[in-house]
Amino acid sequence: MNYRTIKYVLVFMISIFFLAPGLRAEGDRKDNRTNWLGKASTYVAITSLNINNISTYFYNNGISDINALGNSGLVYPKGSGKTVAFTSGLLWGAKVPGDVDPRVGGTAYRTGLVPGKVLPNGTADVSTLDKYRVYRVRSDVYPGGPVVDLSVEVKLDGLSQDQIRTQYETDWNEWPADMGAPFEDRNHNGIYEPATDIPGVPGANQTIWFVANDLNSGATTYLYNSNPLGIECQVTIWAYNQAGALGSMYFRKYKLINVTNRPALTPTTFQDMYVSMWSDIDLGDAGDDFVGVDTTLSLQFCYNASATDAVYAPLPPPAVGFDFFQGPLVNGVAGEDINKNGIDDSQDYGIFNNQRVGPGKINLPMTAAYYFANGDPNIGDPPQGGQGTNDGYRQFYNFFKGTYGISGAPFIDPTTGKVTTFALSGDPQAGTGWLDGKDLPAGDRRQGSASGPFTMAPGDTQEVVVAEIVAGAIPGVDRLSAIGLLKFYDAQAQVAYDNFFDLPTPPPFVVDKQVTVTPLDNEIVLDWSKDENLVKATESFDSKGYKFQGYNIYQLPTASSQVSEGVRVATYDLVDGVGKISDLVFDTKTGAVIKVPVQFGNDTGIKRFISITNDAIRGGVPLVNGIKYYFAVTSYNYNPDLAAVPNNLENPITILTCVPQSQNPGVTYGDPSQGSVAVTHQGTADGYTKVNIVDPSATLGHNYEVFFTKRDEIRDANGNWVASGVSKLNKPNDLTGTSISIVGLYGPNP
């Protein structure tokens, strides 16, 4: 069975869900509302996003953040088994001429989409064609490329390393650029060429792409009892393998095309249209969640109602949110500032297809934020197709406008008495404004943020970019401080968006290829000097103003710890006067953003190995043979530009498990301090050699020679070199071109 077959989830499973709901296990499943595989597709393809501190799942019918067993699928921190989201998706709604009711499509618990493009004649292509699978690429896994550790994918996808490698290489070769998938066009010829170009979002470390459409009326009525609008939806998901903010988020881009201009369809203008990012969050335990929104950031978030969470304990619970970075593109109105950026809309610029457009164009911000709760009779779940009042489309469209779903009544901020389109817009950290918990007790929340209204004529295209961000689950960051950290991450993500995601990166440092671990008697040696080419790639790094600065070595308490839980045992940095580097960080004690030292260089000079004999986690006691210890080596860079945010970038940690041990029977390592390495001095110079064996296990019993020079560095009376092989260095007044940094003297008697 090849990887494509394995990645498909048979629709056979769906019939089981319909016929036997009573057979479901308890926990975070919500199968009475959920059919995440969809109704119309024979096969649904699934893949995981896993390149940074988040892991989650995507399906080629629009469903996301739910695993193949129907459980919460967004895990944070990656590998912990702790989840922050049950399922998420993009919804949209619009009015069309001749219809009394609005039409709603997209994805929630069910999906109104089927995989595949809409053909030029206006009909949907066959959804089960292999080319409509969900594609996934990594920038470091390509045909003929280096060996890369894919153990995370092995665990998440249930495939072998070879199968996953084959999948990555196949998707690289067959990347659907002709269908709209993005790629880095390295030779600028406009054509995707696997041997030259890089598939995926340029600069991203992992990209997922698929295309779907809403032309199947069975799927759209099954969703929320609406007819299709006539949309092709191209979805791009991408993430960055970095520490900090960008390592705790991923980005979604939805390209919506009104395909009703094609022959088989009736030309239809979508009027008063809205798009909405929706999620059933389930932050850890689903029964104690609150929702909030920061209108200045266009950020809707979920946080824990109590100090502890049953799933995340003993860690404090994190916060999770969605930010509308790019809303629909519309014409600006003279004299108004709809996006609240201080610029008249008629003079403002918008973003479309990673380019500034305008003046007179703007991207709509988040215009409404809504929430509802499991079992609440007033703001409960809108009924899906075939359920309850069968008007789920109407209830969701009311939510999109910023009103209560069932009644359509406006939101009234209880603290001001004024109408608003943003529910729960208070500040939970300050305890002010309209906060969750006043209308409903803590519980199982759903949330959505919307942007609109706008119009889509036949043939029009709109783009929506949303970031999904998680912050916290760190000792010292309580449930409310996690909101502040989430907003701090969001602000950094905004910088990335404003720069079209043309992001700086840390120096390349491939831990599994560069760092070797040598276990010795009550000692661990870490060495990253052995591959000269990889060392050069790391230490010569210079990109976008960021240059290599140094190495950090950490000890961690466990194999799954975050760097914040560890102890920095050493820093080796360039001798260049930079030393400590201060940057803006989130202070866990105050919940505020402050400037503090973040890198601790001291012009020590670069070393590429370290001998560790003491346990820094346990106060410096000696290492004990047979005990597992956990270490990590990273590289970091620095940008001296005062406007650089952040001003340094460090590789995410890859934890190395190390167990000191005595020498095996019959094996003896030489100890230079005991005279076991003989050094013979020849010549009249007063230089000397001190032997320091970094890795005794790598010694081969050979003889080695160290010398300063083996030739006579002299000139004749005419100033010419007489040393063999260097006559081209004919510079009588100095020794430029050699390793000698003194003035060269010569005379008639050399």
Q: What stretches of 465-554 show up as alpha helix (H) in DSSP?
A: 481-498, 511-514, 532-539
Indicate the range of 93-97, 235-239, 672-676 predicted with least confidence: 672-676
Give me the sign of the Cα torsion angle 188, 191, 195, 198. Answer: positive
- Rounded CA-CA distance 403/272 in Å is 15
Average pLDDT on 324-341 reads: 91
Q: Are 316 and 387 in contact (CB under 8 A)?
A: no
Spatial CA neighbour of 60 closest among 2, 111, 120? 111
- Rounded CA-CA distance 525/695 in Å is 7
pLDDT of res. 585: 84
Position of tokens 């002709």?
A: 178
Extract the tokens encoding 443. 């519980």
Helix 392-401 to helix 217-224 angle (10° resolution) is 70
**Cis peptide leading into residue 453 (ω within 30°):** yes
Average pLDDT on 467-479 reads: 92
Average pLDDT on 394-420 reads: 96
> Considering the entire predicted model, what is its pTM?
0.76
- Which H or E run contains 6? helix 3-7
pLDDT of res. 584: 86
Count of C-beta atoms within a 10 Å radius of residue 9: 18
Confidence of residue 726 (pLDDT cuts 50, 70, 90): very low
Q: Which residues, listed in sequence order, are joined to residue 208 by a DSSP beta bridge?
A: 136, 237
- Rounded CA-CA distance 519/55 in Å is 32
User: How long, in residues, is the chain?
Assistant: 750
pLDDT of res. 745: 53
Phi, psi of 21 (to 5 degrees): -65, -25
- Which H or E run contains 584? strand 580-587
pLDDT of res. 16: 27
| Mean pLDDT of the residues in the chain | 87
pLDDT of res. 717: 60
Confidence of residue 161 (pLDDT cuts 50, 70, 90): very high
Q: Are 493 and 245 in contact (CB under 8 A)?
A: yes
For residue 174, the SS3 value is coil
Alpha carbon 691 to its chain centroid, in Å, reads 45
- Rounded CA-CA distance 511/208 in Å is 25
For residue 262, the SS3 value is coil
For residue 122, the SS3 value is coil
In sequence order, which residues have a C-beta less than 8 Å from that of residue 418 and are 6 or more positions away? 412
Percentage of the chain with pLDDT > 90?
69
- Rounded CA-CA distance 471/421 in Å is 26
Indicate the range of 219-223, 684-688, 710-714 predicted with least confidence: 710-714
Average pLDDT on 649-668 reads: 87
Q: Which residues, listed in sequence order, are joined to residue 412 by a DSSP beta bridge?
A: 419
pLDDT of res. 36: 46
Q: Are 480 and 266 in contact (CB under 8 A)?
A: no
Position of tokens 């973040």?
A: 598
- Which H or E run contains 173? helix 161-173
Confidence of residue 623 (pLDDT cuts 50, 70, 90): very high
Average pLDDT on 645-660 reads: 91
Average pLDDT on 30-42 reads: 48
In sequence order, which residues have a C-beta less than 8 Å from that of residue 67 and are 6 or more positions away? 57, 73
Indicate the range of 77-81, 100-104, 212-216, 697-701 predicted with least confidence: 697-701
Burial call 417-435: b when 16+ CB within 10 Å, e when fewer = eeebbbbbbbebbeeeebb
pLDDT of res. 225: 95
pLDDT of res. 560: 84
Q: Which amino acid, one-letter code, is at 733?
A: N
